[in-house]
Each structure stands twice: as C-alpha cells, then as structure tokens.
Amino acid sequence: MQKIIGFLNLHHSPQLGGLTMNRPMASTTFLGRYAFMDFTLSNFSNSGIDQVGILVKHQPRSILKHLGSRNTWNVNTKTGFEYIAYNDKAAFSDRYNHDFANIRYNMWILESSAAEYVVIAPAHFICTIDYREVLASHIANHAEITMVYQHVKNARNHFIGSDILSISKDGLVTGMRSNKGTIEEADISMETYIVNRTKLLEMMEEAANTSSFFGIHDLVAFHCGKSLRVHTYAYEGYLRCFDSLEHYVEYSFELLNYGVRQQLFRPDWPIYTVTHDTPPTEYKNHAVVRNSFIANGAVIYGQVENSIISRQVTVERGAVVKNCIIFTDTHIGSQVQLNYVVVDKYAKVHYVQSIEGTEDRPLYIKQGDEV
C-alpha cells in the first residue's frame, strides 16, 4: 500500500531483565531464530506496507546487526524502504528521547513518502494483525486517529503496566489508565495507531507546544475524550505482551504447544527473519529430544526436553536441559543439568553441574559468562 507508511516504535519497549542489558528488546532472540521486531515488520510486509521507519530509542548497533541488508521484509524494493531513525541528539536523555522527537529529528523519512496514512506499532506486543483491515475501519469512520486494542480476560496477571482504555458506545476513547492488576477483564491498548499524515503533523506540533517531554502516548492520554477524537479498532487474534523475563519464558514455552503455535504461525501469514547459512541440526547417537525447538547449526549429544535451543548451541553427552532457553553460540558441558534457566549468547556452562530456577523465577546466565 503506497498510501501508508509504517513506523516500528521502539520507544516504549519494556525491559526483560538481563536479556535487555546489552540489546534493545526488539532485537532480543525469540524462539531460537527470530527477533521480536520480526513480527511487527512481517505484519507490515504482509499488509502490503513496504515503506517503514524504525524508531530506535537506544543501542542501534544491535538493531542494525539484525536488519542486515534490510531486504528481508520489503515487498517492493523499488518503491519501498526501511530506514533507521535514531535521535542521537537526545539519546542520553530519556525525557527528551521519545517517538515524536525521533520522527521530528528524522523528518526526511516521512518526507520520503507520499503516504496519506501512518501506522505506528511497537515490538513487544506479538500478534498477527492485518493493517489493511484497520485502515479500512479508520477510513469508514472518517477518523483522524485510530487506536488498536483487545478485550482481554486475564488482565489481573498479564498486561501489567499496559493502558486500560475507557471506550464510549460509539467507539471513542474517553480515558486511559495503567493496568495495576486489579481486574480480570479490560480493554487493553496495543499501543498501535493509524493516523492521518496531516493529523500526525498537527499532533507533533501540539505535543511540542504542550510539553517537550510528550510523545504520542502522552499526547493521546492527555487529550483523549477532550480535544482529541480517538477511534478504536478491536483486534481479536493471538496477542501477548512481553513485559518481563518471567513472561518471556512463559510465553515462549506456551508456543511449544501446537494448538497455541497455530494461532501465531499461520500458513497465510509468514513471519520473516534474517536467514543464516548454517547446517541442519545434528543429533548424535545418544541424543534424546522431546517437545523442543532446535535451531539450525545446533549439535545435540545429550538430553533436551521442553526447551528452546538457538543456532550453534552444543549440548554435550550426559547433559540434561529441561525447561530452558539457550541462546546462540552457547556450550552446555557434559553432565550439566539445567532446569528453568535462560542462558544468553556465547556462554559456557560446564563447571557447575546443577543449575535450577523455577517456573515463576527462571534463572538467568549473562551473555559471555563462563559458569
């Protein structure tokens, strides 16, 4: 769709404990082969959006490394583009380093497009959403701004810190408040917007005049139900908000269930990612693998159950890995037993024979550590 440009907004990404100490959440490994940003970028691509700006808040190196040539998600390499937007002027000030300031600092991205509409979406809400349907609703409502939400029935333990919307009978947002986990059912904002191009420019100017600290979320929260008419679109498909290390582990393991996995990985909705020229997984004679994701390039001598193993991981003979997530280029030594452990990239676990976390409190081993 040439009349719409997408912005992948990384300015409100949660922290996932140690996983996001050295990288932004968007480029964090998911399911052994993806990064979180792959899902939003794939939604853009599958919706026919081939003009994309990526609003990076910090640590752009990791984002650039994952994107590579940036041809993975574009559907039209002649008229399409994927540009990195990084506001180095405000990089060391969280107050000034927000999405509106980033767009303003990199206005050339918007000016490179003749798009009439702008879709802004985050990386930490994982879903498969067709933005063409949202745009059709936006146009039918004669809206200037539309916010996507989902009515959920598990708000007491999930989506903590996300915004609960108050919605009028005619589908307008009348208020927003943070989810404190006090109710089960709620209309949760997915932090996804479709905005008319001219309205976005007006909102950016209004935000600057109201407060230099205001991004799109702040402006909408401040003015919705008053001077700003925000329409809504109800999304009903698979949705998870990755907002903590515990939920990262929980939702990752949930996808080992085939029925759940089908909701996210649909035959008609491919999830694109950067490919690596690695050999197939090698399973040695004594290997035992049950209910696990094993990425290409892994070598398995030992036992792996209910786990997610990334590329270039070695699990030695006699090792037992259960309920674990093992990142790229990690070595698990002989006789080591791991249970509910997340092991970051380039780590070596061979001296400590038994390491065990719990389902509610998984243990994390830092990138490059030798244990």
Q: Is residue 257 part of a domain?
A: yes
Q: How far is CA 215 from CA 98, 161, 204, in A?
A: 5, 17, 8
Of 20, 50, 52, residue with least CA distance to 124: 20
Q: Is residue 61 part of a domain?
A: yes
Alpha carbon distance 281, 283 (integer Å):
6
Q: Is 79 a residue whose pLDDT tops 90?
A: no
Beta bridge partners of 300: 283, 315
Q: What is the mean pLDDT of residues 222-226?
A: 91
| Boundary (domain end) residue, out of 235, 264, 293 | 264
List the beta strands (DSSP E) in 235-287.
239-241, 282-283
Question: Are residues 226 and 307 located together in one domain of the fold?
Answer: no
Q: Is residue 274 part of a domain?
A: no
Question: Are residues 360 and 291 located together in one domain of the fold?
Answer: yes
Q: Assign 254 a pLDDT band (cuts: 50, 70, 90).
A: very high
Question: φ, ψ for residue 145 (rounded to 5)?
Answer: -145, 135
Question: Are residues 208 and 351 located together in one domain of the fold?
Answer: no
Domain count for the chain: 2
Question: Are residues 320 and 260 located together in one domain of the fold?
Answer: no
293-304: pLDDT as tens digits: 999 999 999 999
Span of 74-83, 129-138, 177-186, 232-241 with lowest mean pLDDT? 74-83
User: Tokens for 147?
Assistant: 């916010």
- The pLDDT of residue 366 is 96
Question: Are residues 257 and 307 located together in one domain of the fold?
Answer: no
Q: Is residue 141 part of a domain?
A: yes
- The pLDDT of residue 73 is 65
Q: What is the mean pLDDT of residues 216-221?
A: 96
82-116: pLDDT as tens digits: 899 999 998 889 899 999 999 999 999 999 999 99
| Domain encompassing residue 328 | 282-365
Q: How many helices (H) and strands (E) does the chain have?
A: 9, 28
Q: Is 74 a residue whose pLDDT tops 80?
A: no
Q: Is 1 a residue whose pLDDT tops 90?
A: no
- The pLDDT of residue 144 is 97
Question: Are residues 77 and 143 located together in one domain of the fold?
Answer: yes
Q: Assign 288 a pLDDT band (cuts: 50, 70, 90).
A: very high
Q: Is residue 269 part of a domain?
A: no
Q: Is 278 a residue whose pLDDT tops 90?
A: no
Q: Is residue 273 part of a domain?
A: no
* Cα 233 from chain centre: 20
For all residues of the chain together, what is the average pLDDT? 94
CATH number at residue 314: 2.160.10.10
Question: Are residues 179 and 121 located together in one domain of the fold?
Answer: yes
- The pLDDT of residue 294 is 97
Q: Does residue 223 contact residue 176 with C-beta atoms inside 8 Å?
A: no
Q: Does residue 279 contact residue 2 with C-beta atoms inside 8 Å?
A: no
Q: Coil, strand or helix: which one is 40?
A: helix
Of 198, 173, 190, 41, residue with least CA distance to 117: 198
Question: Are residues 305 and 174 located together in one domain of the fold?
Answer: no
Q: Does residue 342 contact residue 324 with C-beta atoms inside 8 Å?
A: yes
| DSSP label at residue 171 | S
CATH number at residue 57: 3.90.550.10
- The pLDDT of residue 94 is 87
pTM value is: 0.95
Question: Are residues 260 and 321 located together in one domain of the fold?
Answer: no
- The pLDDT of residue 363 is 97
Q: Is residue 218 part of a domain?
A: yes
Alpha carbon distance 332, 307 (integer Å):
13
- The pLDDT of residue 222 is 95
User: Tokens for 254?
Assistant: 């949930």
Question: Are residues 220 and 333 located together in one domain of the fold?
Answer: no
Q: Is 75 a residue whose pLDDT tops 60?
A: no
Q: What is the mean pLDDT of residues 160-178?
A: 97
Question: φ, ψ for residue 79 (rounded to 5)?
Answer: -105, -15
Q: Is residue 270 part of a domain?
A: no
Question: Are residues 222 and 116 located together in one domain of the fold?
Answer: yes
Q: Assign 78 a pLDDT band (cuts: 50, 70, 90).
A: low
3-15: pLDDT as tens digits: 999 999 999 999 9
Question: Are residues 149 and 19 located together in one domain of the fold?
Answer: yes
